[in-house]
Structure 1
Amino acid sequence: MRADYLAALERHNLDALPTVGYGLGYVRAYARALGLDEAASVADFKRDSAVPKNLFRRDTPHFVPTRQLRLPRGSVPALGVIAAVVMLGAWYGVQLDTVAAPSPVMTAPFDPDATQDAQPVPDTILTLRTTAPSWVTIRDPRGRLVANRVFVTGESWQMEVGRDYRVDVRDGGAVEILIGERTLGPVGEAGVPRRDLALGTLR
């Protein structure tokens, strides 16, 4: 073993050794030559080399070598990417439930006390209105979510007749459809879900 490598081992100077693997081999050979326990010597060298700031404190009273927690190389960037993906997913999920529908679709609450003063709804407007609370999912012609939540009793949603919007409702009997002022009736039976109802075919 070269003298400078031996000096590097005694000083725990890893930078002066060819590689860590060579260094551990030198430690094992050095321990064997001195009649020491090879495995224990290698373990001590690994521990002390991992905490170089404590190397000169081993002989001080009450000193206990500590181990440092080291993450694998590349862990910090990977955790950053994962956190960004999680945040983006959470933000996108919130946006899906709150995204506004493109013009000319509009939402409006239904107020039965104001119908006497309200202007009549033209026959070019289709209205989706709840007569009881129900979960309603509405998708635009491109499949994007317009609404995905519980509609309270009397809440309504409107669009131009002929637009290819599609609707899922949890309770078919709790959601009715109107064309202008004309009621077409509920979208299904009470308590029975209605899936993929094509509003563009209704006239």
Structure 2
Amino acid sequence: MAEQPELENGATSPDVQSSTPGAKLRAAREAQGLSMQDVATRTRIAQRQLEAIERDDYSALPGIPYAVGFARAYARAVDLDEVAIAADVRHAVHNSELGTNRYEAFEPADPARVPSRVLAWTAAAIVILLVAGFTIWRTQMLTPPTGQEIAAEQAKPVTAAKPAAGARPAAPVVQTVVFTANDDVWLRIYDEAGERLKDGLMKKGESFTLPANARNPMILTGRPQALSVTVGGKSIVPLGAPDRTISDVPVSAAALLARAAPASAGAAPPSAPSAAQLPPVRPVTGSVAPAIPAAPAPAPAAPPAAN
């Protein structure tokens, strides 16, 4: 492979620079006469993060999923092939400082123990196949039986009494799922067919209501703690540990309520019955001892006889 031409002081020629993902995005933006603020408005991504994408400075971004996601959104905004841009970014980010830091903890200290290149690529291919197979299996087995039972229970109409003849049946209760950003956070919400219901950066204070007809919706984000989730106005526990990327996490009303079910499993023991609730105490009855008759009075003494 021929070496790339270099300019004075080690600089790379303009043809080489324009082949980077950031340079392609910048060229497309300038060709359309768009400013960086215009792209930020279209993508709802912070301008400083878009500037980092244009500079190919992936170490300035929170992580690899953010770099790829921001680049795809940028490409859509300027009418470029987002799949090709995402592939270029993945290739570039794994060769950057961000990709090096991600795997440096797994590098052996002894170079003699480094596996061969063929073995390393074979192991990587096996891992990719296993992950793909697990993802397909998990998608098919996503909804647990408990979630289905909860959904069926929620779909029953709530009525206080049997309706009178001719009355309209009560409509099923709709559990609305709402996501609210406590801080700026990038997320993607998609259904089982891969359709994206929400994709991009949510600003602090912004809310998103999940469509009622979403089929097995799931979420991908790197900052679960920056989201508050409610189902029918009821708060749900965080979706994951702080600053840990989560993916394929179900966010339907049934799945979220199933997560919150164990918290309400305990119930207070019944209180002791009050004195008014106790049965009346019956008096103890028994045989009465017979009365002892009084001793008879002594007879009066006889008068003395006359002489």
Answer with 1 or 2: which has the greater Rg: 2
- Shorter chain as denominator, the TM-score bin is 0.3 to 0.5
Higher strand content, 1 or 2: 1
